[in-house]
A and B are shown apart, each in its own frame.
Chain A
Amino acid sequence: MLFAVPVGLFSAIYMAEYARPSVRATAKPLLEILAGIPTIVYGFFALVTVGPFLRDISAELNGLVTGDYTSFIQAQSVLTAGLVMGIMLIPFVSSLSDDIITQVPRAMRDGSLGLGATRSETIKRVILPAALPGIVGALLLTASRAVGETMIVVLAAGVAARLQLNPFEPMTTVTVKIVNQLTGDLEFTSPQTLVAFALGITLFVITLCLNIYALYIVRKYREQYE
């Protein structure tokens, strides 16, 4: 998320405020292709490219600093999964915020520009505050997407069920746990399956809350200008 939000937001701002129509017409569909790529492909990308790359880079860094060429980032790590998920979320953030920024009324923009503010000042001081609730709603929607994301994490973050905060090592998420519990040959009523269902409910409730709150914010914001 730390990665997706700035990139997505800035591209949205640029698209909505600066880009010429021709640039917008080419760049926007291209970014939306990113949204159309199935998550399993991102998972494979993480597994084959990003994971080993991060491992090697960390080995090099570690070697430069301490002289010991062992990598401190493992190939399957939370960092890998997070980074790739960030790539996946860029188009979501950017197209949602783009919509919201373009909804800010023209008059507010003209007023600020007319008072002599530069465009970036207009964006920072007028448009962003006006669009903030909508953007927050969009970000919450994106966050609920990230929580429910499965395939990238299955392939990229590993299955080690450890409670820790070090993002450089393998960890697991709720969705991965469900997949692992349920892909074997098990009796339907066995405790393992029931655990998976409990996890599913938890996941559902979390995302539902995020979604309802986000939709509420987005709706409330929309009504202001219509």
Chain B
Amino acid sequence: MTDIVSPVPSSFTKTVSPARRDIGIKRRYAAERRFRMYGIAAILTGLFFLFLLLWTVISNGYTAFQQTTITLPIEFSEKIIDPKNERAENPGKLMAANYPLLVRDALIKVLNIDPSNRALVKRATDMVSASARTQLRDVVVANPAVIGTTVNVSLLAEGNVDSANKGQIDLDVDEARRKVNNQQLAWMKQLNDAGVMTKEFNTGLFTYGASSRPEAAGVGVAALGSLYMMLIVLVLSLPIGVAASIYLEEFAPKNRFTDLIEVNINNLAAVPSIVYGLLGLSIFINFAGMPRSAAVVGGLVLTLMTLPTIIIATRAALKAVPPSIRAAALGLGASKMQTIFHHVLPLAAPGILTGTIIGLAHALGETAPLLLIGMVAFVVDFPGSPMQPSTALPVQIYMWANEAERAFVERTSGAIIILLAFLIVMNFGAILLRRRFERRW
């Protein structure tokens, strides 16, 4: 440390005699190269971790965009669905019918299993997701005319079968400790050869809500919740932020009070996000009595979080507009309002937009405050309005990351890919805007 503090290069005094200077230069150039190497190594380390991270996520997650389905000829037999023929007067009967039985019968037929061997039948039906029940119910309720006919329906395969089909389950492990047993593997091969079991693009990942079964879990609800929150954040924080910074930059007198405000805003930007979560919990939920785990509360908390970012960015953008523009507009007789809204603001707009986009991207990826206001809810239905319970994308990732099943690791990575795709698009947009409109005065 001592030689760093000394302002005069000490080697300068040493290099007096020619003989010693030569040795010194060699050593110093070596030090120079070494130092340079450190710099390159540091940057490469950073980039290495960036790629490692992306690679982990993508290699784990790309399979989440595919889903194994089993297409079975389901016989919608009237005997099983509606034995007493009372669906005309009591439509609720259709909701409660024994749909798993239909799946079982179809599987028995396709796989040629002896129906009296219960253990074998049980294993076979385990291969189809338990969500098949609701899937068939929806088919029947939507179109009661299918009863009595045989229709090919693509059912979701169970999570473990799905993983096995994608080659993610180690088949060398002892059968007793494996999630998929040999019998099921043999069936899988049979179904694959028959073209019944296929891998399809996983639209469910984008449309389903939360589920404890990985094959039926998706980010649909979470994405909608995030969208609501982003809208709220945008609508609230952009006008407030821009208005605040215009006042601070153009109108406010420079005194102790505005100085204090400035210091405070800078501090707010660096307050840990979890503290905002506490604030939201106590003010919005406990004091104002807003509904828990609603997108409205999340949006408000995130608004508070992004406000300082937007204010700082906007002030910087306004500051970058040269005073000559203002002077010219004022000199031509424009009022202060006109100067700002007709000349200064349009020139500062790219900077403001960039700041807003970066703030929004930050808010989109924020998890901690949402955990505290109860957004870690198990929400299956789509929220109809921002006042209803919902989750957000990052929270969904957090919940899935805590699940143990292999199939959930894959879904988590899939959800991360979706989230990162959004963020990269937003950030890229911000960079493009900056490049495009960047000008030097």
CB pair B286 A129 closer than 8 Å? no
Q: Which residues of A contact B271 (CB under 8 A)?
A: 148, 204, 207-208, 211
CB pair A41 B416 closer than 8 Å? yes
Contact with B along A27-42 (1 / 0, CB 8 A): 1011101101111111
CB pair B272 A15 closer than 8 Å? no
Checking A94, A125, A179 against B9 with a beta-carbon cut-off of 8 angstroms, the contacting residue is A125
Closest-CB distance, A156 to chain B (whole angstroms)? 10
Closest-CB distance, A16 to chain B (whole angstroms)? 10
Q: Which residues of B contact A178 (CB under 8 A)?
A: 274, 277-278, 372
Stretch at the interface among B29-37, B112-120, B163-171: B29-37
Closest-CB distance, B413 to chain A (whole angstroms)? 8
CB pair B286 A188 closer than 8 Å? yes
Q: Which residues of A contact B39 (CB under 8 A)?
A: 10-11, 13-15, 17-18
Q: How many positions in chain B have a CB within 8 Å of any CB in the partner chain?
A: 72
The answer, yes or no, to whether B52 is at the interface (CB within 8 Å) is: yes
CB pair A208 B267 closer than 8 Å? yes
Stretch at the interface among A44-52, A63-71, A72-80, A164-172: A44-52
Contact with A along B43-63 (1 / 0, CB 8 A): 101110110110011001000
Checking B12, B38, B364 against A115 with a beta-carbon cut-off of 8 angstroms, the contacting residue is B12
Given contacts A118-B32, A178-B278, A215-B263, contact A43 B401 (CB under 8 A): yes
Given contacts A125-B4, A207-B272, contact A6 B278 (CB under 8 A): no
Closest to B5 in A: A129
CB pair A27 B42 closer than 8 Å? no
The answer, yes or no, to whether B7 is at the interface (CB within 8 Å) is: yes
Closest-CB distance, B166 to chain A (whole angstroms)? 17
How many angstroms from the CA of A11 to the CA of B277 in the assembled complex?
34
CB pair B4 A117 closer than 8 Å? no
The answer, yes or no, to whether A7 is at the interface (CB within 8 Å) is: yes
CB pair A118 B31 closer than 8 Å? yes
Q: Which residues of A contact B278 (CB under 8 A)?
A: 178, 182, 196-197, 200
How many angstroms from the CA of A36 to the CA of B278 in the assembled complex?
24
Q: Which residues of B contact A212 (CB under 8 A)?
A: 263, 267
Given contacts A36-B423, A179-B274, contact A44 B412 (CB under 8 A): yes
In the complex, chain B residues 239-267 whose Cβ is within 8 Å of any chain A Cβ:
263, 266-267
The answer, yes or no, to whether B424 is at the interface (CB within 8 Å) is: yes
Closest to A28 in B: B43
The answer, yes or no, to whether B100 is at the interface (CB within 8 Å) is: no
How many angstroms from the CA of A94 to the CA of B263 in the assembled complex?
23
The answer, yes or no, to whether A155 is at the interface (CB within 8 Å) is: yes
Closest-CB distance, B120 to chain A (whole angstroms)? 36
Closest to B55 in A: A49
The answer, yes or no, to whether B176 is at the interface (CB within 8 Å) is: no
Closest-CB distance, A40 to chain B (whole angstroms)? 5
How many angstroms from the CA of A17 to the CA of B32 in the assembled complex?
12
Given contacts A8-B42, A38-B394, A40-B365, contact A145 B275 (CB under 8 A): no
In the complex, chain B residues 54-79 whose Cβ is within 8 Å of any chain A Cβ:
56-57, 60
Closest-CB distance, A76 to chain B (whole angstroms)? 12
Closest-CB distance, B309 to chain A (whole angstroms)? 13
CB pair A119 B424 closer than 8 Å? no
Q: Which residues of A contact B423 (CB under 8 A)?
A: 36-38
A31-B47, A36-B361, A38-B366 known, 18 other contacts, Cβ within 8 Å: A7-B46, A10-B42, A14-B36, A14-B39, A14-B42, A40-B394, A40-B398, A41-B416, A44-B397, A119-B32, A151-B398, A155-B401, A178-B274, A182-B278, A203-B272, A208-B267, A211-B267, A211-B270
List 29 A-B pairs, Cβ < 8 Å: A7-B42, A10-B42, A11-B46, A18-B36, A30-B50, A34-B50, A36-B423, A38-B394, A39-B367, A41-B53, A43-B401, A44-B413, A87-B46, A90-B45, A121-B28, A129-B7, A144-B272, A145-B272, A148-B271, A151-B367, A175-B272, A175-B368, A183-B374, A183-B376, A204-B271, A207-B275, A208-B267, A208-B271, A215-B266
